[in-house]
Amino acid sequence: MADTLLTNMGVDGKTIRFLCDKVLYPDQRAIFIGKGKIVNDGTVRQGAICLTNRAITVYNPKEKRAYDFKLTELIDSSYKRRFFSSTIKIQMSSQETAEKVAERILIQGIPKGEEERVINLFKLTAGEQKRFEDVQKSKGMVRYGFSHEKWDSTGEAKRWLEQYLRRRGFKKAGDRWMTRQEYIDHKRKQKGLYKYIEAGIEKWGTLDKILDGLSPHEFEDFIGLLFKSMGYEVTNFPYVGDYGADLLVKRNGKAIVVQVKKYGLENNVGAPEVQKTLGSIWKYKASEAILVTTSTFTARAYEQATGAPIELWNREKLKEMLHQHLPSNLIQEKPVSTRLFPKFENICKSIITQAISYADSQTGLRVEFRIERGESQGKYGIKRKTLGFSVLGPVEYYPFLEKAMNECIPTIPPILKSIFEGWLNKSIKNELEDVRKKYSELTEL
């Protein structure tokens, strides 16, 4: 590698000093700094491009944002009309497992006579990184760490990862790591309890208590959620005039009509209901039917179903299916009113500003929390406006968001509190999932 830093025209000294002192991580050494851009999956990152001994860092002074790309292989290179153009393989730091193939980096204004040297620097960076990794692997070492990568024995890497997970509050049950909430839920399930949401309040109870507490309409919605958790696409029919079917569920091209009956234990479902449900198969162009009840069926009902394309789920059969596939919430919660979105966004922006303030200077420039507007498909095909967070970057970013949200939640209106708590639980779960994906060989799952 070159001993002296090579820079081109177009990058001022103040930006170069800030990049070297505040943007690069301690284990990164700048080799070349030039003005240019990287085009990646349709996105363009432009500004000061810094080639280091382990990555390419793009820093945009106007946005005050930094992006890291790991250069793994230089495929082809050329220099024409004051542009260095190289087709290379790079890997974004926020997607450690996916190589970006045949990407393009453009560096403007390379000093005259230095073109070949710049190209060779890129080749050396890719080559040295590959050789270094090969040597480490030959010694039986594994790579670990997030922003700051380290190499050590598998045992040491596992100890480091376990310390990180415990410090973050994750719990281990058997050989599986869980979030704190998942661990609490796991312990409750061991006691034979199940979680459900009733009128927006989370509750725990036995399957019998859950079933007995639902109204007929809630029971219908509940069965729809059950089939969704089993991987079916579910269509609800109106509560009246349903022609013998409450739901139409589809999976792998197969359509099934489902009729539900919320009866007390003393009331059994008879043969007429079986006949009516069988008739709905033709009406809705399905191949079979399922009749579900919270009680049981008469002998005539079972006789009517014999040899027919229909399954009868009595209370015991339903409990068996719930034991395997119980949805996390039994009653669909209402979406956030769009009139609350402006207030929502202001709170989100405040949380993001606070979250970024917790990061150190290098990480702070790379932290990226986004507020995303979207659309979801509601009941009966009605589209709903949605608003949510997304977190981009290494898993170290999640603790910043968690801390900022925990400080903010007590101060926000009750109508929004449960939504932010839901987002927080989701972000913590995403963090654990990211760790599992990156370190599948170090986590026993």
Integer angstrom CA distances of residue 435 from 126, 162, 367: 26, 11, 17
Amino acid letter at 50? C
Residue 1 has pLDDT above 50, yes or no: no
What pLDDT was estimated at residue 161?
A: 92
The CA-CA-CA angle for residues 328, 329, 331, to 5°, reads 160
Plot region of 177 (φ>0 → left; ψ -120 to 50 → alpha; else → beta): beta
Residue 6 has pLDDT above 90, yes or no: no
The CA-CA-CA angle for residues 255, 261, 267, to 5°, reads 145
Residue 98 has pLDDT above 50, yes or no: no
Percentage of the chain exceeding pLDDT 90: 29
382: CB partners within 8 A, 6+ apart: none
Q: Strands 310-313 and 368-377, how do they pair?
A: unpaired
Question: Minimum mean pLDDT among 178-182, 292-296, 375-379: which range?
Answer: 375-379
Q: What average pLDDT does range 46-55 have in this prediction?
A: 86
Q: What average pLDDT does range 272-283 have in this prediction?
A: 93
| Higher per-residue confidence, 384 vs 255 | 255
Rounded to 5 degrees, what are φ and ψ at 413?
-60, 145
Contact 439, 161 (CB under 8 A): yes
Rounded to 5 degrees, what are φ and ψ at 210?
-65, -50
Amino acid letter at 161? L
What pLDDT was estimated at residue 4?
A: 65
- Encode pLDDT of 305-364 as tens digits: 999 999 999 999 999 999 888 776 665 555 667 777 788 888 888 998 999 888 888 888
Q: What average pLDDT does range 75-83 have in this prediction?
A: 68
Residue 97 has pLDDT above 90, yes or no: no
Entry field: residues in the chain? 445
What pLDDT was estimated at residue 254?
A: 93
What is d(CA 410, CA 11) in angstroms, rounded to the nearest whole number? 46
**Chain-wide mean pLDDT for the chain?**
83
Contact 289, 260 (CB under 8 A): no
| Higher per-residue confidence, 73 vs 29 | 29
3-state secondary structure of 16: helix
Residue 102 has pLDDT above 50, yes or no: no
Model confidence at 69, in pLDDT bands (50, 70, 90)?
A: confident
Strand partners, 194: 205
Q: Strands 310-313 and 288-293, how do they pair?
A: parallel
Q: Strands 83-92 and 100-108, how do they pair?
A: antiparallel
Integer angstrom CA distances of residue 228 from 201, 292, 430: 21, 15, 21
Cβ neighbours, 10 Å, residue 20: 16
